[in-house]
């Protein structure tokens, strides 16, 4: 089964208004923003990744969903699966502790089980945030909105490729793959002004298409405007191919924001050093997602991003 098929079925179960029709990355309940992300060995992290970085990543990918709603971190529940390797498990918890402390998230409970011998590691975390004055959803985009991207794209996917080629690779790209930084402060500054916001975890093109679809609009993206880091450019260059790689790789934890055209996010008090770029627009006309580079249209690549699917042939 594909992820999208599973979600269709889940929508008939998750009928509470808090679930937002499962059309967002979070649920909203009594002023709280709720999210849950899991992290599995071989799917989200490599068996050789340092245990502390896996713990860090579990917390920060959840915080990224809170960031996209402009929420402030409050509390977390951890689903911990002990692997039998005590040093690994202790170090994993060090990573959980470091991330919780860094971002003011209080671990308040959860559950611990022991994995069967040899089973791949899987962990889950529920993060709970306090909503700000406005919670921008995926579906709030309006005709004529400007699409802004906060953060850079492709670093993590490039880091993963380096690790796949040579597990001993180090450097900024590998660090970003292993230790994403949730953009909480920018999210809180932008949320009161944004029509729609989401984090880019599955790849910009797939996530932008989801935002456009949820808003019943069409997204146009200028690939030349996609922000790339110096480390990414040094590794892969800035060609159209490199930009398409960056726009589809995923694991970025950047923020995609649909802003009314009369709001200039550069005039808001974003933290010093925030990378922000105007990458496109939302429009009533056009196709769900269209790309351009050098002023010419670019055909959509076959894979727009990361979609989970089971092993059955369907």
The site for ligand TPS (CB under 6 A) is made up of 37, 42-46, 160, 201-202, 250-251, 306
For tokens 């202790």, the residue is 90
145/202 with CB nearer ligand TPS: 202
Let me know: does 215 contact 24? Beta carbons within 8 Å: no
Structural contact between residues 116 and 26, judged by C-beta atoms closer than 8 angstroms: no
Least distance between ligand TPS and beta carbon 211 (Å): 15
CA separation for the pair 309, 40 (Å, rounded): 14
- For residues 184 and 260, is the Cβ–Cβ distance under 8 A? no
In terms of CB distance, is 89 or 202 closer to ligand TPS?
202
Q: Which is nearer to ligand TPS, 47 or 261 (CB)?
A: 47
Tokens of 247: 């726009």
CB of 3 to ligand TPS, least distance (A): 8
When the beta carbons of 187 and 265 are compared against ligand TPS, the nearer one is 187
Pick the closer one to ligand TPS by CB: 154 or 250. 250
> CB 193 → ligand TPS: shortest distance, Å?
26
Name the residue among 139, 246, 239 with its Cα closest to residue 197.
Answer: 139
For residues 222 and 251, which CB has a smaller minimum distance to ligand TPS in the complex? 251
Cα 135 from chain centroid (whole Å): 17
Between 180 and 265, name the residue whose CB sits nearer to ligand TPS: 180
How many helices (H) and strands (E) in the chain? Answer: 9, 12
Instruction: Compute the least distance from the CB of residue 57 to ligand TPS, in Å.
Output: 9
Query: Considering the complex, what minimum distance in angstroms separates the CB of residue 37 from ligand TPS?
Result: 5
**How many whole angstroms separate alpha carbon 288 and alpha carbon 290?**
7
Q: How far is the CB of 93 from ligand TPS (least distance, A)?
A: 21
Nearest CA-CA partner of 138 in 14, 254, 255, 51: 255
What is the bridge-based pairing of β-strands 276-283 and 196-200? unpaired
Give 18's DSSP letter.
G
Q: Which is nearer to ligand TPS, 45 or 103 (CB)?
A: 45
Bridge partners for 27 per DSSP: 34
Smallest separation (angstroms) from ligand TPS to the CB of 45 = 6
d(CA 93, CA 45): 16
Matching residue, tokens 């402390």: 101
Residue nearest to ligand TPS (CB): 250
What minimum distance in Å lies between the beta carbon of 186 and ligand TPS? 20
């Amino acid at each position: 089964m594909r992820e999208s098929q599973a979600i269709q079925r889940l929508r008939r179960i998750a009928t509470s208004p808090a679930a937002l029709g499962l059309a967002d990355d979070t649920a909203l309940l009594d002023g709280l923003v709720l999210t849950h992300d899991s992290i599995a060995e071989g799917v989200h992290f490599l068996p050789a990744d340092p245990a502390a970085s896996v713990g860090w990543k579990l917390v920060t990918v959840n915080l990224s969903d809170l960031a996209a709603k402009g929420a402030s971190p409050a509390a977390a529940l951890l689903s911990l699966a002990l692997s039998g390797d005590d040093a690994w498990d202790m170090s994993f918890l060090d990573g959980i502790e470091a991330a919780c402390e860094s971002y003011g998230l209080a671990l308040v409970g959860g559950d611990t089980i022991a994995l069967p011998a040899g089973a791949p590691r899987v962990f889950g975390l529920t993060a709970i945030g306090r909503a700000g004055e406005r919670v921008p959803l995926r579906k709030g985009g309006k005709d004529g909105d400007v699409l802004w991207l906060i953060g850079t794209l492709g670093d993590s996917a490039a880091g993963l490729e380096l690790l796949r080629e040579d597990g001993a690779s180090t450097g900024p790209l590998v660090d970003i793959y292993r230790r994403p930084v949730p953009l909480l402060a920018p999210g809180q500054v932008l949320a009161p002004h944004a029509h729609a916001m989401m984090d880019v975890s599955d790849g910009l093109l797939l996530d932008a298409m989801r935002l456009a679809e949820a808003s019943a609009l069409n997204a146009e993206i200028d690939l030349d405007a996609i922000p790339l880091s110096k480390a990414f450019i040094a590794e892969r260059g800035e060609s159209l191919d490199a930009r398409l790689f960056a726009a589809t790789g995923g694991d970025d934890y950047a923020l995609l924001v649909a802003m009314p055209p009369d709001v200039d996010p550069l005039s808001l008090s974003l933290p010093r050093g925030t990378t922000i770029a105007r990458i496109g627009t939302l429009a009533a006309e056009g196709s769900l997602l269209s790309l351009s580079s050098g002023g010419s249209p670019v055909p959509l690549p076959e894979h727009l991003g990361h979609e989970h699917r089971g092993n059955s042939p369907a």
